[in-house]
Amino acid sequence: MTTTPEGLDLAALSTWFAAHIAEAGDAPLSASLIAGGRSNLTYHVTDGAHDWVVRRPPLGHVVATAHDMGREHRVMSALQGSDVPVPVTRAFCADPEVIGAPFYVMDRVDGRVVRSTAELAAFDPADALAVSHGLIDVLARLHATDYEAVGLGDFGRPDGFLARNVARWGKQWEANKTRELPQIDELARRIAAALPESGPPGIVHGDYRLENTMLANDGPEIVAVLDWEMSTLGDPLTDLGLFLVYWVHWDAGASDGVPLATGGASGLPGFIGMDEVAARYAEITGRDLSHLDFYVVFAFYKLAIILEGINARFLMGKTLGEGFDRMGQMVSTLCDAALDLATRSQIPALHG
């Protein structure tokens, strides 16, 4: 734990905690940056008797509408007590003057976050199967949640979500890009041409993957879903598409041997493959997956744009941690993988 880690004004935070967090008293706070995140910054904060987690936006180059701490705090607060496990939220601060950016506070969950393919490879087959099923089951429960009943009826605009989302990510590319990439332009054209009609809307996490969940310390159960910064109401299959990019298509050792995340799990013993993921999700939700290739290609496209934004912050010296120097190459690798899948798809409009 450090006195004041970068991005967190601990003296100002202590004063704010005393006024807004019931358990906090006059004891001094200490904090440390939690490793693993490439976007929002996450800190472990403690007074020696209590443990909390503080989330704030990244340093510099924050695109409008991205990194909305109030949004993340709201959806987790709404899901308290639901079928979707989330940390207990404590308070939200919209005033950027306190620590330099809006932030929120939640309880620290006792569990483990799996951050590497090497960790996954150590799972025994029974636990690997349980984790596989648990991830799909939790995602299906999220998408089945009655968003009106939990107070999220105005959390997004489901009508026209997919077309609007495609357009928004194109704008994100223009705002984030550090160079011209013809692959991105081609992907954008094919995605627009293959746009399907969405099924019933639901709560969309926006970045659902193993690395954004927490497992029990002593078992394969999912005890928390984390990192809700991109959540909204919309087409739930966008979550499934992104999950599959990480789970199946992104081979963490295929490019330069540096894992982007817990990628390629489906190739390890005990973890289920793409067909089983899709079949289990379809059985639970009853959703039509005939356009699943579109959602996977779109997920590659979004992820490439996200990484370009991280690459832009790295080039400006506004990142904390290691591994950011490889982001630029990963963008190109993701685009190539998306175009390959699109060309092989059964959806004619994706062929180019």
Q: Is the pLDDT of residue 328 over 90?
A: no
CA 275 to CA 245: how far, in whole Å?
13
Same fold, 10-107 and 117-350: no
Query: Which pLDDT score is estimated for 58?
Result: 84
Q: What's the CATH number of domain 10-107, 3.30.200.20, 3.10.20.30, 3.40.1180.10, 1.10.1040.50?
A: 3.30.200.20
Residue with tokens 């994100």: 172
Residue 85: CA count within 13 A, CB half-sphere: 17
For residue 4, give the DSSP letter. Answer: S
The domain spans of the chain are 10-107, 117-350
Is the pLDDT at 61 greater than 90, yes or no? no
**pLDDT value, residue 241:** 96
Residue 276: count of CB within 10 angstroms of its CB: 15
Q: Is the pLDDT of residue 269 over 50?
A: yes
The dihedral of CA 174, 177, 178, 184: what is its sign? negative
* CA separation for the pair 39, 312 (Å, rounded): 12
Please write the tens of the pLDDT for every residue from 118-136: 888 899 999 999 999 999 9
Determine what percent of the chain is predicted with pLDDT higher than 70: 90
Can you give 35-85 as a three-state secondary structure string?
CCCCCCEEEEEECCCCEEEEEECCCCCCCCCCCCHHHHHHHHHHCCCCCCC
Query: Model's pTM, two decimal places?
Result: 0.88
Task: Name the pLDDT band for 60 (thresholds 50, 70, 90).
Answer: low
CA 171, 175, 176: angle at the middle one, nearest 5? 115
Half-sphere exposure of 129 (CA within 13 A, CB side): 4
The whole-angstrom separation of Cα 211 and Cα 337 is 21
Q: What is the pLDDT of residue 260?
A: 44
Q: Output the DSSP codes for 241-270.
A: HHHHIIIII--TTSSSS--SSS--GGGSTT
pLDDT confidence band for 322 (50 / 70 / 90): low
Q: In what order do the strands lie in the sheet with 51-56?
A: 30-33, 41-46, 51-56, 103-107, 89-93
pLDDT confidence of residue 64: 44
CB 136 within 8 A of CB 280: yes
Residue 257 has pLDDT above 70, yes or no: no
35 vs 144, higher pLDDT: 144
Q: Is the pLDDT of residue 249 over 50?
A: yes
Residue type, 271: F
Collapse the DSSP code of 31 into the 3-class scheme (helix H, G, I; strand E, B; otherwise coil) and give the result.
strand
Q: Residue 266: its pLDDT value, please?
A: 83
Looking at every residue in the chain, the average pLDDT score rounds to 89
The residue that leads in pLDDT, 86 or 315, is 86
Bigger pLDDT: 253 or 21? 21
* pLDDT attached to residue 314: 85
Pick the CATH number of 117-350 from 3.40.640.10, 3.40.50.1000, 3.90.1200.10, 3.40.50.300: 3.90.1200.10
280 and 135 in contact (C-beta within 8 Å)? no
Render pLDDT for 66-75 as a digit per residue (tens, 0 to 9): 568 999 999 9
Q: What is the pLDDT of residues 171-220, one digit of tens each?
A: 999 998 988 999 999 999 999 999 999 999 999 999 999 989 999 999 99
